[in-house]
Amino acid sequence: MTTSTSTQNSNLGAWLVLLLAGGFEIGYALSVGGSHGFTVLSWSLVAIVFFLLTLFALSVALKHIDVGIGYAVWAGIGAVGAALFGPVLFHETLTPGKAFWLAVIIAGVVWLKLADRPRKTPVPPITAGTEPQPLLGQTSNRR
């Protein structure tokens, strides 16, 4: 039972680090936009810092989360965050159509997180040299 609790705690910690990485990704995306192609020094320096932070946090999270799931969640958080904060910082437009598709991305990220939860009843591993057990109600014909 301790191993299960330990695994759940490390998985929760990995998801929290992945959320942090997503926040850094939002900062990176917005600061790249503010740098105007890395021509504004202050925004460019901020972009470099956020870039290093987001890659570090993502790499830590991916130690415990499948790469495909983790990357999709990280990219989704960055895309949604940049799309939501872009209008606030850079006077971009957020149309109802864009808002709908952002909601679809958010739903997909939540769905991926739910799909990553461990099973409640673990399936015992099959080890070499053991015979499979007959299904309930069946008898084994092997002798």
Question: For the segment 25-72, what is each residue's pLDDT rounded down to a tens digit?
Answer: 999 999 999 999 999 999 999 999 999 999 999 999 999 999 999 999
CB-based contacts of 36, cutoff 8 Å, min separation 6: 43
Residue 134 has pLDDT above 70, yes or no: no
Q: What is the mean pLDDT of residues 107-123?
A: 76
pLDDT at position 11, please?
86
Residue 7 has pLDDT above 70, yes or no: no
Instruction: Quote the crossing angle between the two packed helices 41-61 and 67-90, to the nearest 10°.
Output: 150
CB-based contacts of 47, cutoff 8 Å, min separation 6: 28, 31, 32, 34, 35, 38
Query: How many percent of the chain have pLDDT more than 70?
Result: 76
d(CA 83, CA 95): 11
d(CA 107, CA 111): 6
Residue 137 has pLDDT above 70, yes or no: no
What is the residue-averaged pLDDT of the chain?
Answer: 86
For residue 29, report the phi and psi dihedrals to the nearest 5 degrees: -60, -45
pLDDT at position 2, please?
46
d(CA 17, CA 72): 14
